[in-house]
Structure 1
C-alpha cells in the first residue's frame, strides 16, 4: 500500500534478508523480542522460506525516501476470528521523528485493507515505555496484563496486551 511516493510498505523479498537479519540481531531490537538469541543466516533463511508457504503470517518492509527502514510482522492471522497480532521495529538508528508513526499507520492501513480482520493485537514488555506510548498514539487500547509471562535474562517480565479495532482505526483516520 502506498501513501504518497516517499513512504510505503511492501512484502519482504529475498534480497532484503541480509539487511533485515542485521537489524534483527541488533541488541536494541533483540532486547524487546521474546526470542532474543543471535539469529544465524540458516535460521533466518528457514524463517523466510516458511513465510512463503503459510497464510497466517506476513512480513512487510517499510520503505521511506527510497530506503529500507523498518519491518512489520503480522502473525496469527485468523480470518475465522477476524483478528491478527502484529510486531515491528525500525532498523537504522537516527531516523527522523515520526518515522515509526508513519510506518505503523501505513502497516495498519495495509492490514485492514488486505485481511478480513477487525482486530489487531499487540504484546509489549511492560518496561518498554516507548512502545507503550507508540501503541496508545496509534489508537490501541490496553486490554490486559500478563503477569510473569516471559522468563528472560534470569527474570520474569510482565507483558501488556493491546488491541486496535477496525472501526476505531477508521474513525480516527477520518478526522
Structure 2
C-alpha cells in the first residue's frame, strides 16, 4: 500500500469541505457548525499565505483520504501543533498511516523537536490514536471548550522527536 502526504491544492477543496462537514467528523471539531464554501475558501487562502503552516492531503493508494494541518507555533523551540481528519470513506487503518506520515514529515522533513495536539475528552478514539503513536498526555484543560451548550475538557498531548524515533522502531 502506497501512502503519502502532499500540499493541499485548490482542486482538493470540494472534497475536503465535504469531509469536514460530515457529521462523523464535525462532532469532534472545535467548530461544529457546517462550514460554508466562502468560509472554507477564505481559510484556504489564509493558510496558503502563512509561512508557518503546512496543510497537506493524505493519499492512500493515490486516493485522497485525509487532511493534515501542521502549524509551527515556535520556530526557536522547534514546536508545532497538529490537526487532522480523515474522509469518512477512508479505508480501515488510514489513521495510523496518516499519523506515521505526519510524524515523518514533522520530525524528519521539518526537523522539529515536538509535536502537540489537543483532543476533546469525549473523543476516545482520537485519544487512543495519539497514545498508539507514542504521544504522552501532558494536560487536562478543564471545561476548555464550549460547544454552544456544554463545556468540555480538552486533553493536551505531546510527542518528542526522540520518542517518535524509539516508537517507530518498535
Give the TM bin, normalised by the shorter chain.
over 0.9
Could you tell me whether the CA contact under 8 Å between 1:12 and 1:59 is conserved in 2?
yes
Alpha-carbon distance in structure 2 between the residues aligned to 1:91 and 1:161:
24
Deviation at 1:76, TM superposition (A): 4.0
Alignment of 1:11-160 (within 5 A): 11-93=7-89, 95-96=91-92, 98-160=93-155
- Secondary structure of 2:49 counterpart: coil
Gaps of 5+ in 2: none
Alpha-carbon distance in structure 2 between the residues aligned to 1:92 and 1:35:
18
TM-score normalised by length of structure 2: 0.95
- Secondary structure of 1:59 counterpart: strand
Alpha-carbon distance in structure 2 between the residues aligned to 1:157 and 1:66:
37
Deviation at 1:52, TM superposition (A): 1.4
**Which string of whole-angstrom CA distances, capped at 9 and with x for unpartnered residues, describes residues 139-161 of structure 1?**
00101100000011400000001
| 1:174 aligns to 2:169 (yes or no) | yes
- Secondary structure of 1:173 counterpart: helix
Could you tell me whether the CA contact under 8 Å between 1:8 and 1:106 is conserved in 2?
yes
Alpha-carbon distance in structure 1 between the residues aligned to 2:90 and 2:9:
25
- Secondary structure of 1:133 counterpart: helix
TM-score normalised by length of structure 1: 0.92
Number of aligned pairs?
A: 170
Deviation at 1:115, TM superposition (A): 2.1
The 1:17–1:94 alpha-carbon spacing in structure 2 relative to 1, beyond 3 Å, is closer
Could you tell me whether the CA contact under 8 Å between 1:72 and 1:87 is conserved in 2?
yes
